[in-house]
Protein backbone atom coordinates (compact mmCIF):
# COMPACT_ATOMS: atom_id res chain seq x y z
CA UNK A 1 0.00 0.00 0.00
CA UNK A 2 1.58 3.31 -1.06
CA UNK A 3 1.82 6.29 1.23
CA UNK A 4 -1.23 8.07 -0.18
CA UNK A 5 -3.57 5.17 0.50
CA UNK A 6 -2.02 4.64 3.93
CA UNK A 7 -2.69 8.25 4.83
CA UNK A 8 -6.20 8.14 3.34
CA UNK A 9 -7.06 4.89 5.13
CA UNK A 10 -5.64 6.05 8.46
CA UNK A 11 -7.44 9.41 8.19
CA UNK A 12 -10.85 7.85 7.65
CA UNK A 13 -10.25 4.97 10.08
CA UNK A 14 -9.24 7.44 12.77
CA UNK A 15 -12.24 9.65 12.07
CA UNK A 16 -14.73 6.76 12.06
CA UNK A 17 -13.19 5.12 15.11
CA UNK A 18 -13.22 8.35 17.07
CA UNK A 19 -16.82 9.08 16.11
CA UNK A 20 -17.91 5.55 17.04
CA UNK A 21 -16.23 5.74 20.44
CA UNK A 22 -17.44 9.13 21.50
CA UNK A 23 -20.95 8.80 20.10
CA UNK A 24 -22.02 6.66 23.05
CA UNK A 25 -20.51 9.12 25.50
CA UNK A 26 -21.56 12.50 24.12
CA UNK A 27 -24.06 11.70 21.37
CA UNK A 28 -26.25 14.76 22.00
CA UNK A 29 -23.31 17.05 21.23
CA UNK A 30 -22.25 15.31 18.01
CA UNK A 31 -23.47 16.00 14.48
CA UNK A 32 -22.13 14.20 11.40
CA UNK A 33 -21.90 15.16 7.76
CA UNK A 34 -20.73 13.61 4.50
CA UNK A 35 -20.64 14.81 0.91
CA UNK A 36 -18.44 15.91 -1.93
CA UNK A 37 -16.21 18.87 -2.67
CA UNK A 38 -14.36 20.55 -5.51
CA UNK A 39 -10.86 21.70 -4.55
CA UNK A 40 -8.56 24.04 -6.44
CA UNK A 41 -4.82 24.02 -5.69
CA UNK A 42 -2.41 26.70 -6.93
CA UNK A 43 1.33 26.11 -6.72
CA UNK A 44 3.03 29.41 -7.48
CA UNK A 45 6.70 29.73 -8.45
CA UNK A 46 8.70 30.49 -11.56
CA UNK A 47 6.68 27.66 -13.10
CA UNK A 48 3.08 27.95 -11.82
CA UNK A 49 1.04 24.77 -11.48
CA UNK A 50 -2.70 24.31 -11.03
CA UNK A 51 -4.74 21.26 -10.12
CA UNK A 52 -8.45 20.64 -9.54
CA UNK A 53 -9.72 17.79 -7.40
CA UNK A 54 -13.11 16.17 -6.86
CA UNK A 55 -13.16 14.68 -3.38
CA UNK A 56 -15.30 12.65 -1.01
CA UNK A 57 -15.45 14.24 2.41
CA UNK A 58 -16.82 13.48 5.85
CA UNK A 59 -16.66 14.98 9.30
CA UNK A 60 -18.40 15.84 12.55
CA UNK A 61 -19.27 18.75 14.80
CA UNK A 62 -18.76 18.52 18.53
CA UNK A 63 -20.87 21.28 20.07
CA UNK A 64 -19.10 22.50 23.21
CA UNK A 65 -21.24 25.61 23.72
CA UNK A 66 -24.69 26.78 22.64
CA UNK A 67 -27.31 29.30 23.64
CA UNK A 68 -30.87 27.90 23.63
CA UNK A 69 -30.05 25.82 20.53
CA UNK A 70 -30.00 29.03 18.48
CA UNK A 71 -26.26 29.66 18.23
CA UNK A 72 -23.32 27.36 18.90
CA UNK A 73 -19.56 26.89 18.91
CA UNK A 74 -18.25 23.55 17.75
CA UNK A 75 -15.04 21.70 16.95
CA UNK A 76 -15.28 20.41 13.38
CA UNK A 77 -12.70 17.81 12.19
CA UNK A 78 -12.99 16.57 8.59
CA UNK A 79 -11.21 14.24 6.18
CA UNK A 80 -11.24 14.17 2.36
CA UNK A 81 -9.71 12.12 -0.43
CA UNK A 82 -9.79 12.84 -4.15
CA UNK A 83 -8.14 12.52 -7.52
CA UNK A 84 -7.54 14.64 -10.60
CA UNK A 85 -6.36 14.36 -14.18
CA UNK A 86 -5.41 17.47 -16.14
CA UNK A 87 -2.92 18.85 -18.64
CA UNK A 88 -0.75 20.49 -15.97
CA UNK A 89 0.02 17.67 -13.58
CA UNK A 90 -1.38 14.55 -15.25
CA UNK A 91 -2.94 12.11 -12.79
CA UNK A 92 -2.69 13.18 -9.17
CA UNK A 93 -4.17 12.24 -5.82
CA UNK A 94 -5.08 14.50 -2.94
CA UNK A 95 -5.95 14.08 0.73
CA UNK A 96 -6.70 16.68 3.35
CA UNK A 97 -7.62 16.75 7.03
CA UNK A 98 -9.02 20.18 7.92
CA UNK A 99 -10.24 21.07 11.41
CA UNK A 100 -12.23 24.20 12.26
CA UNK A 101 -13.67 25.98 15.25
CA UNK A 102 -17.11 26.88 13.88
CA UNK A 103 -19.59 29.53 14.99
CA UNK A 104 -23.05 28.56 13.69
CA UNK A 105 -26.34 30.39 13.85
CA UNK A 106 -29.75 28.95 12.99
CA UNK A 107 -30.45 25.71 11.12
CA UNK A 108 -28.66 22.64 12.54
CA UNK A 109 -26.41 24.63 14.87
CA UNK A 110 -27.34 21.88 17.34
CA UNK A 111 -29.23 18.62 16.94
CA UNK A 112 -32.38 20.25 18.28
CA UNK A 113 -32.52 23.39 16.15
CA UNK A 114 -35.39 23.20 13.63
CA UNK A 115 -34.98 26.51 11.82
CA UNK A 116 -35.00 26.49 8.03
CA UNK A 117 -31.83 28.49 7.36
CA UNK A 118 -28.50 28.85 9.06
CA UNK A 119 -25.12 30.57 8.75
CA UNK A 120 -21.68 29.57 9.89
CA UNK A 121 -18.05 30.66 9.84
CA UNK A 122 -14.88 29.18 11.22
CA UNK A 123 -11.10 29.18 11.31
CA UNK A 124 -8.58 26.40 11.81
CA UNK A 125 -5.83 24.46 10.12
CA UNK A 126 -5.56 21.86 7.40
CA UNK A 127 -3.08 19.14 6.54
CA UNK A 128 -2.73 18.35 2.82
CA UNK A 129 -1.09 15.43 1.07
CA UNK A 130 -0.46 15.72 -2.69
CA UNK A 131 1.02 13.22 -5.13
CA UNK A 132 1.29 14.01 -8.84
CA UNK A 133 2.25 10.95 -10.86
CA UNK A 134 2.79 12.54 -14.25
CA UNK A 135 4.37 15.98 -14.01
CA UNK A 136 6.25 16.82 -17.27
CA UNK A 137 9.79 18.10 -16.74
CA UNK A 138 12.82 17.95 -19.12
CA UNK A 139 10.95 15.70 -21.57
CA UNK A 140 10.16 13.11 -18.92
CA UNK A 141 7.43 12.45 -16.38
CA UNK A 142 8.24 13.00 -12.73
CA UNK A 143 6.41 11.89 -9.60
CA UNK A 144 5.91 14.74 -7.15
CA UNK A 145 4.90 14.23 -3.53
CA UNK A 146 4.60 16.63 -0.63
CA UNK A 147 2.82 17.42 2.65
CA UNK A 148 1.43 20.86 3.50
CA UNK A 149 0.00 22.49 6.60
CA UNK A 150 -1.98 25.73 6.24
CA UNK A 151 -4.25 27.96 8.30
CA UNK A 152 -7.71 27.93 6.72
CA UNK A 153 -11.12 29.59 7.06
CA UNK A 154 -14.63 28.51 6.10
CA UNK A 155 -18.08 30.05 5.61
CA UNK A 156 -21.29 28.11 5.08
CA UNK A 157 -25.04 28.22 4.49
CA UNK A 158 -27.34 25.50 5.84
CA UNK A 159 -30.83 24.62 4.61
CA UNK A 160 -33.12 22.36 6.63
CA UNK A 161 -36.56 20.84 6.14
CA UNK A 162 -38.44 17.82 7.45
CA UNK A 163 -36.50 15.41 5.22
CA UNK A 164 -32.90 16.60 5.00
CA UNK A 165 -30.31 19.12 6.10
CA UNK A 166 -27.81 20.36 3.53
CA UNK A 167 -24.81 22.64 3.99
CA UNK A 168 -22.95 24.52 1.27
CA UNK A 169 -19.46 25.40 2.49
CA UNK A 170 -16.70 27.49 0.96
CA UNK A 171 -13.18 27.34 2.40
CA UNK A 172 -9.64 28.35 1.60
CA UNK A 173 -6.13 29.13 2.77
CA UNK A 174 -5.59 32.17 4.94
CA UNK A 175 -1.87 32.34 4.15
CA UNK A 176 0.24 30.74 1.41
CA UNK A 177 2.45 27.86 2.48
CA UNK A 178 6.01 28.16 1.18
CA UNK A 179 8.40 25.24 0.70
CA UNK A 180 10.92 23.72 -1.74
CA UNK A 181 8.42 21.19 -3.08
CA UNK A 182 10.10 20.21 -6.36
CA UNK A 183 13.60 18.92 -5.73
CA UNK A 184 14.72 19.37 -9.32
CA UNK A 185 14.08 23.13 -8.99
CA UNK A 186 16.81 23.33 -6.35
CA UNK A 187 16.12 25.70 -3.45
CA UNK A 188 13.39 27.67 -5.19
CA UNK A 189 10.44 28.34 -2.88
CA UNK A 190 6.92 27.54 -4.07
CA UNK A 191 3.79 29.06 -2.53
CA UNK A 192 0.69 26.92 -2.16
CA UNK A 193 -2.89 28.15 -1.97
CA UNK A 194 -5.97 25.93 -1.77
CA UNK A 195 -9.67 26.75 -2.11
CA UNK A 196 -12.76 24.59 -2.22
CA UNK A 197 -16.54 24.31 -2.31
CA UNK A 198 -18.36 21.46 -0.57
CA UNK A 199 -21.94 20.21 -0.42
CA UNK A 200 -22.55 18.29 2.81
CA UNK A 201 -25.46 16.12 3.90
CA UNK A 202 -26.00 16.38 7.66
CA UNK A 203 -27.28 13.41 9.62
Q: What is the rounded distance in angstroms from the CA atom of residue 177 to the CA atom of residue 50?
A: 15
pTM score: 0.79
Q: CB of 130 within 8 A of CB of 83?
A: no
Residue 92 has a pLDDT of 77
Residue 105 has a pLDDT of 97
Q: What is the rounded distance in angstroms from the CA atom of residue 181 to the CA atom of residue 112?
A: 46
pLDDT in tens, the chain (203 residues): 566 566 666 666 666 666 566 555 566 888 999 999 998 887 776 666 677 888 999 999 999 999 999 999 999 999 999 887 665 556 778 889 999 999 999 999 999 999 999 999 999 999 888 777 655 556 666 666 777 788 999 999 999 988 899 999 999 999 877 665 555 555 566 677 889 999 999 98
- Give residue 124's domain range: 3-202
Q: What is the CATH number of the domain that holds 11?
A: 2.40.160.20
Give how many domains the chain has, as a whole number: 1
Which residues, including other chains, have CB under 8 Å from residue 42's CB and lie 6 or more apart?
48, 49, 50, 192, 193, 194
Amino acid sequence: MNSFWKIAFLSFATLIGTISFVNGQIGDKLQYHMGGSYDFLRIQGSTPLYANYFTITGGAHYVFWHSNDQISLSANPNASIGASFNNFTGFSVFAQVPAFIMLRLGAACTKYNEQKFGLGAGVGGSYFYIKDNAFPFNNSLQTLETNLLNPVAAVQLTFQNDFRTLTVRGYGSLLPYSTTFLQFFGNEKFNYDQYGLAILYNF
